[in-house]
Amino acid sequence: PELEDLEALPLLRLEGDGYARGVMYGRAKASSWQRAARLMDAHAEELVREVVPPRFIAEAVVKEVPAHLAQRFCGTSSFRADEYFPAEYRGYVQGIADGAGLPAERILRLIAFVMLSDASCSGFVAFGPATEDGRLLQLRSLDWGSDALPAAEEAVLLVHEPTGGQRYLSIGFVGLVGSITGINESGISLTEIGADSTDWTADGIPMPLLLERVLAEAHTLDE
């Protein structure tokens, strides 16, 4: 892929179907993906040990926690896999894995941890009389420390040019599959702010994939 720098941030242009774009991303940032996978597996084990005293849980069980979370949050071991994970994203995940030299399961674990992380964000939108020239300004800050999500340390800008689809820019980090901030060529932009909820469940498509679908498919606010 074409690797550029935009004010010290790496920018990758990814073209083709989901798998092809994943391979490009995985190859360009192979060492970073491998590091992110190691960090998140280790972080999961640390969290388990904090919650459950070692005398009550076998080390072998602790080692299985990352895989279990991937199955629970990505539907990888149930009939819900198709429902949870659309084919386009399964191809993208497999492409990243192949490009980075990792099993696809390791990439799915990262998705699960992003969903589970105890993280928060800041953001605002200003427009009309609130801005100097009336243009809309949108800001989002990813307020995640290394304690909440160790893999979120390496920011990256991804320009997706999917086959037969519209182009979009996703602003995130190596280890994130999907989008949490971005804008598409139709002018639709988005950010998200996480919040706790009493009716939150793990059923459904992971939130970052839903947001990326907005960028890939929406041409209007109604869409």
pLDDT of residue 199: 79
pLDDT of residue 67: 66
- What stretches in the chain show pLDDT beneath 50? 78-79
pLDDT of residue 50: 66
Yes or no: say if 124 and 50 are a contact pair by the CB < 8 Å rule. Answer: no
SS (H, E, C) 141-208: EECCCCCCCCCCCCEEEEEEEECCCCCEEEEEECCCCCCCEEEECCCCEEECCCCCCCCCCCCCCCHH
pLDDT of residue 39: 83
The structure tokens listed for 54 are 């070692």
Region for 24 from its dihedrals, namely left if φ exceeds 0, alpha if ψ lies in -120 to 50, beta otherwise: alpha
State how far the alpha carbon of 211 is from the alpha carbons of 64, 77, 78, 130, in Å: 29, 24, 24, 27
- Work out the end-to-end distance of the chain between its first and last CA atoms, rounded to an integer number of angstroms: 30
pLDDT of residue 118: 64
10, amino acid identity: P
This model's pTM is above 0.85: no
The structure tokens listed for 136 are 């809309």
Query: Which has the closest alpha carbon to 149: 103, 116, 192?
Result: 116
Question: For residues 164 and 17, what is the distance between their CA atoms, to the nearest angstrom?
Answer: 9
Tokens 């198709």 correspond to 82
pLDDT of residue 148: 60
